[in-house]
Amino acid sequence: MEKMRIVLTGGAGFIGSHLTAFLLDRGHAVVVIDNFITGRRKNLQQFIETPEFELIEHDVSNYIDVSGSVDFVLHFASPASPIDYLRYPIQTMKAGALGTLNSLGLSKKKKAKFFLASTSEVYGDPQVHPQKEDYWGYVNPIGPRSVYDESKRFAEAMTMAYHTHHAIDTRIVRIFNTFGPHMRPDDGRVIPTFILQCLKGKPVTIFGTGEQTRSFCYITDLVEGIYKLMNTDYHYPVNIGNPLEIGINELASIIGNIIGSEIQIEYKELPRDDPQCRKPDISKAKELLSWQPKVDLKTGLSKTIAWFRKNAGK
């Protein structure tokens, strides 16, 4: 890919900070836009002295103005964990609706390509398993998770409308559960929660019976898939995730074994509309991008646990 100037909204977040590093390493200039509602400044600290890096503190639900030329706009800004989007429901919907509109507006103004970070949450509590891109989903439009689910569904519709009516060169990735270093310890997602509970010798909290399943993709695999999708001219959604499916009880056991702690499990009531299964069909990514995950779950968990041991209290 030719060297580009890339605007990345939400670049201080977990995925955004890894993507920033990846793009800078490949010689691109990166302009990060973040209001730090859930992103963290320390995720970007290593880039501050890099000439190709620029940081703009801004809420993307307001008009976005970036001086100079822009080749690609990547819209990743949004609270992304249940704890965050239940704490910030209006801001989540604004990021998905107004943030997408303003990011697309910047792309149109600068004649830049556009990339939307969507989510497996558009499938809701799926009635089809595994989930393919042509599945329309099973989403409660007024449930507690709808502020995230529906904002991303709207964002996809907005992106396709700009592609169809304004000829914007767009991409859409549907991101499945991803983990790795830089996750916030308090973001409520299952892997950082289990790791911290085990490290502190506390009971592991599992909602429901623990028989529900998820699939987990390590961050480096996700970022590679995103970059490959940027390099295509495919305009429709593409699943990026790891199809290895695992039960939550088994996940807790694996994390406990790696840490070397004997875990105790505390079961709690399952939250409303929590999906029972989540597994990507990645046939499209394999065919279109020649992509599939390389990092196995235990290796990724070991790397993540090592990072949390050093950084959890910082």
In this predicted structure, which of 53-57, 84-88, 265-269 has the lowest mean pLDDT?
265-269
Over pLDDT 90: what percentage of the chain? 80
Average pLDDT, the chain: 94
Q: pLDDT confidence of 61, banded at 50, 70, 90?
A: very high
Instruction: Render pLDDT for 243-269 as a digit per residue (tens, 0 to 9).
Output: 999 999 999 999 999 998 888 888 888
pLDDT of res. 273? 63
What is the rounded average pLDDT of the residues 15-43?
97
73 within 8 A of 113, measured Cβ to Cβ: yes
Give me the domains of the chain, ranges plus CATH numbers.
5-179+218-243+279-294 (3.40.50.720)
> Which segments of 60-145 does DSSP mark as H helices, in order?
82-87, 89-110
Q: How far apart are CA 147 and CA 87, in angstroms?
A: 11
Q: How far apart are CA 30 and CA 162, in angstroms?
A: 23
Check whether 1 has a pLDDT greater than 80: no
Q: How far apart are CA 114 and CA 159, in angstroms?
A: 8
Annotated catalytic residue: which of 85, 123, 148, 162?
Answer: 148
Check whether 314 has a pLDDT greater than 60: no
114 within 8 A of 96, measured Cβ to Cβ: no
pTM over 0.75: yes
Q: How far apart are CA 191 and CA 215, in angstroms?
A: 11
Judge whether 148 counts as a catalytic residue: yes
Q: How far apart are CA 168 and CA 63, in angstroms?
A: 18
What is the rounded average pLDDT of the residues 34-52?
96
Q: How far apart are CA 32 and CA 60, in angstroms?
A: 11
Instruction: Render pLDDT for 110-163 as a digit per residue (tens, 0 to 9).
Output: 999 999 999 999 999 889 989 999 999 999 999 989 999 999 999 999 999 999
Q: pLDDT confidence of 212, banded at 50, 70, 90?
A: confident
Q: pLDDT confidence of 185, banded at 50, 70, 90?
A: confident
The pair of three-digit structure tokens given for residue 221, joined into one six-digit string: 């695999």
DSSP strands (E only) in 224-312: 237-240, 245-247, 265-268
237 within 8 A of 133, measured Cβ to Cβ: yes
pLDDT of res. 252? 92
pLDDT of res. 51? 96
